[in-house]
Amino acid sequence: MTLKTIRYLMLLTVGALLIPVLPALADNPPPPMGYMQPMDPVQHTQAYLDELKIKLNLTPAQASAWDTWSGGVLEESKKQVERIKSWHQKMQGDVMHEEGSTLERMAHGLDHMRGEITRMQEHVTRMEAALERTKAFYAALDTNQKTIFDLSMQNAHHGWQAGHDEQCGPHDHGTDGKRLAH
């Protein structure tokens, strides 16, 4: 049997195996290449925390510090989902930036910027609280655990840099995983 014949038979076999799957693909086609499936940020955070807890191999004496720190991270994740939903609802009903006189649009722009300043001040407050929780947890870790934690947080931060952080503005992603327009 030649190599060409073997390839042809393999192709036929694979094709025959795919026949039962084709109707499902027709009803529910896979997403295009590079398209991110929507994810629940809270579930994503919980999965990250579960994985980190395993990697850290915490002792019973560290459980309280872990519970406080991870509980804060998870609670903040839940609140962030609500902040983003609220922002999306507000922006969907906001047509003033496109309509109205020049003076109305300028006044609206100033109101928007004041809202951004408030949002950023609230973000600073949340980051300060997160820093204090993290300091307390970090103090409970041994040297090896600190290294694991540092590397894990560094890798998580790179994901946040890609637009999955607390930005609630033009770089945000919608519930379908696509970037939202400004």
Tens-digit pLDDT profile for residues 61-75: 999 999 999 999 999
pTM for the whole thing?
0.61
55 to 46, 49, 149, 153: CA distances (angstroms) = 14, 10, 9, 12
> pLDDT value at position 174?
43
Residue whose C-alpha is closest to residue 83's, from 41, 48, 24, 139 = 41
- Residues paired with residue 179 on neighbouring β-strands, in sequence order: 173
Q: Say how many Å lie between the first and final Cα of the chain, rounded.
A: 61
CB 69 within 8 A of CB 133: yes
pLDDT, residue 58, reads: 96
Q: Which residue has the tokens 């940020």?
A: 41
pLDDT of the residue at 81:
87
Question: To which residue do tokens 């590079």 refer?
Answer: 34
Q: Which amino acid is at 117?
A: I
What mean pLDDT do residues 91-100 have?
Answer: 70
Which among 170, 61, 67 is positioned nearest to 112, based on CA atoms? 170
Residue 76's identity, in one-letter code, is E
Determine what percent of the chain is predicted with pLDDT higher than 90.
37
Phi, psi of 117 (to 5 degrees): -65, -45
Helical ranges in 21-142 per DSSP H? 22-27, 41-56, 63-92, 102-139
